[in-house]
Amino acid sequence: MIMIKKLLKFFDKTEDKVREILSRYVILYAFIGGVAIVLFWRGVWKIADGLFFMTGVMSVIISSAILLLTGLFVSFFIGDRIILSGLKKEKKLAEKTEEEIKSELERSIRIIDKLEKIEKDLEEVKNKIK
């Protein structure tokens, strides 16, 4: 169990470093990610081919059931961010300027600060009621 925790921690830290580096080279990042995803699904496909009951229809039924049960069906195929940005009529992240992104970040920070103040106020009210 300790070995698994160490392994997970290693991959977590390594992932942060790799993401930081690759974020500067988006085309390379996309290419590496694309290749890795295709290889992953190729492996899944080969395993599924080895299972006698896994026909095309069974694959669709089993995968749809799992995706619907876990809440990943819409999220995976469309994405929450895409749905929300469509409803808000927002630009895609790639189309936003650096100033727009900074402005959104500042707005998010102000909202978080306000929420934290509200949380403190609620705690004070709770303590006074007790």
- pLDDT tens digits, residue range 50-105? 999 999 999 999 999 998 898 888 777 766 666 666 667 666 666 667 777 788 88
CB 23 within 8 A of CB 29: yes
- As a whole number of angstroms, the distance between CA 94 and CA 73 comes to 25
pTM of the model: 0.50
Q: Taking Cα atoms as reference points, which of 125, 105, 129 lies closest to residue 117?
A: 125
Q: Taking Cα atoms as reference points, which of 88, 83, 87, 85 lies closest to residue 73?
A: 83
CB 51 within 8 A of CB 60: no
Q: Taking Cα atoms as reference points, which of 15, 44, 50, 46 lies closest to residue 32?
A: 15
pLDDT single digits (tens) 19-54: 889 888 889 999 999 999 999 999 999 999 999 999
CB 36 within 8 A of CB 28: no
